[in-house]
């Protein structure tokens, strides 16, 4: 038996028998106790949490479990990419540190040929969050909501909506989703009597209640967000169509070859700012109400940028 196989066998014995003495390993593998001590040291160096019990032997730290695994080159590459992405796109903190530690443990058990492949891949690939905010898995609000979902506890929150309406609500939290570039909580809102979605960055205050809830059997009305989605049809100038596809709005439902695109936002406010960012390179074909809103907004922008504002008059640059 080669050393790698023997070290894996150590883990199996630890997991099946619990407490093991050096002489037990020596007899099992027909090796000296000195070799056993070197093997134990090697396992500790790659992160296996072995606890020495004076006068008794060794055991694995309680709760530790690692089944024997082997990765193909594709599997190892996928793990490296996933953990490298996690490290590159997250805010520095315990989660990022744990990801780096896990990566080192995986490195320690990879065959040499596979290790060379993934190291070559890692040397030429980088992940950056800019200009989007980094993922923060250690954010207090995120962790509190994660705990509430697991324990099925009510949360109280003060929510600042995009409309600038501020409400206080009790919510039965159901899931967290990373949507576009922000975390969103989905849950049953007791104030609105239905499922609602809440951006975490718009939660001004959050409290975890002691009260627990049972998952509801919701009908269609309760599952509805309470907002009827609008169909918005937009034509984009050919000079920006490619860039529109690159920075596409998340409410897109259809993209046609002629530069016409169809969206289904839950409100006009959800898409108005994004449409205006394309200036005169876009035209809303329908609905008429949104066309009028954009025209009114454009007229206000024009008025704010004209030179005949009070105080500007006929002033000319000094010579």
Task: Grade residue 312 by pLDDT with cuts at 50, 70 and 90.
Answer: low
Higher per-residue confidence, 10 vs 81: 10
- Both tokens of residue 76? 């190892």
pLDDT (mean) for 185-207: 94
What was the pLDDT predicted at 267? 85
Task: Reply yes or no on whether the pLDDT at 47 is more than 80.
Answer: yes
281-290: pLDDT as tens digits: 999 999 999 9
Q: How far apart are CA 88 and CA 92, in angstroms?
A: 9
Domain with CATH 2.30.30 in the chain: 140-223
Q: 80-89 pLDDT, tens per residue?
A: 788 888 877 8
Pick the more confident residue, 83 or 298. 298
Write the class of the CATH domain 140-223.
mainly beta
Q: For 23-45, what is the mean pLDDT?
A: 92
Q: Where in the chain is the domain with CATH 1.10.10.10?
A: 3-60
Answer yes or no: CATH 3.40.640.10 is held by domain 3-60. no
Nearest CA-CA partner of 272 in 287, 260, 258: 287
Kindly tell me if the per-residue pLDDT of 299 is higher than 50: yes
Calpha distance 128→90 (Å, rounded): 9
Mean pLDDT (whole number) for 162-173: 93
User: 36-45 pLDDT, tens per residue?
Assistant: 999 999 999 8
The whole-chain average pLDDT of the chain stands at 85
Stretch among 97-106, 125-134, 268-277 having the lowest mean pLDDT: 125-134
Work out the average pLDDT over 159-186.
91
Residue located via tokens 């949104």: 290
Indicate the range of 52-61, 69-78, 306-315 predicted with least confidence.
306-315
Share of the chain above pLDDT 90, in %: 46
pLDDT at 67 over 80: no
Question: Residue 69 — very low, low, confident or very high, per pLDDT cuts 50/70/90?
Answer: low
Q: What six digits make up the tokens of 213?
A: 């809830």
Integer Cα distance of 244 and 281 in angstroms: 10
Confidence at residue 319, expressed as pLDDT on a 0 to 100 scale: 46
Please indicate whether residue 63 or residue 253 has the higher confidence score (pLDDT): 253
Q: How confident is the model at residue 219 (pLDDT cuts 50, 70, 90)?
A: low
More confident residue, 309 or 319: 309
Does pTM surpass 0.75?
Answer: no
What is the pLDDT averaged over residues 292-310?
A: 86
């Amino acid at each position: 038996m080669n050393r790698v196989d023997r070290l894996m066998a150590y883990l199996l014995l630890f997991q099946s028998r619990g407490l093991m003495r050096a002489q037990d390993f020596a007899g099992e593998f027909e090796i000296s106790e000195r070799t056993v001590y070197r093997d134990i040291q090697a396992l500790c160096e790659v992160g296996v949490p072995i606890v020495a019990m004076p006068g008794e032997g060794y055991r694995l730290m309680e709760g530790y479990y690692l089944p024997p695994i082997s990765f193909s080159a594709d599997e190892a590459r996928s793990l490296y990419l996933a953990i490298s992405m996690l490290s590159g796109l997250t805010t520095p903190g315990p989660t990022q540190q744990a990801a780096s530690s896990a990566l080192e443990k995986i490195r320690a058990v990879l065959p040499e040929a596979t290790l060379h492949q993934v190291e070559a891949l890692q040397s030429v690939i980088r992940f950056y969050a800019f200009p989007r905010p980094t993922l923060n898995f250690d954010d207090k609000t995120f962790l509190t909501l994660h705990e509430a979902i697991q324990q099925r506890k009510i949360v109280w929150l003060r929510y600042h909506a995009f409309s600038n309406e501020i409400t206080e609500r009790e919510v039965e939290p159901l899931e967290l989703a990373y949507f576009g570039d922000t975390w969103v909580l989905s849950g049953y809102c007791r104030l609105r009597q239905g499922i609602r979605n809440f951006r975490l960055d718009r939660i001004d205050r959050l409290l975890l209640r002691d009260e627990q809830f049972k998952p509801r059997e919701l009908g269609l009305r309760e599952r509805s967000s309470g907002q009827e989605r609008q169909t918005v049809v937009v034509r984009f100038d050919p000079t920006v169509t490619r860039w529109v596809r690159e920075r596409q709005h998340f409410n897109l439902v259809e993209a046609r070859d002629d530069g016409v695109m169809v969206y289904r936002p839950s409100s006009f406010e959800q898409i108005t700012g994004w449409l205006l960012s394309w200036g005169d390179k876009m035209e809303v074909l329908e609905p008429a109400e949104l066309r009028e809103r954009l025209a009114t907004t454009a007229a206000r922008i024009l008025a704010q940028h004209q030179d005949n504002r009070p105080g500007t008059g006929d002033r000319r640059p000094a010579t």
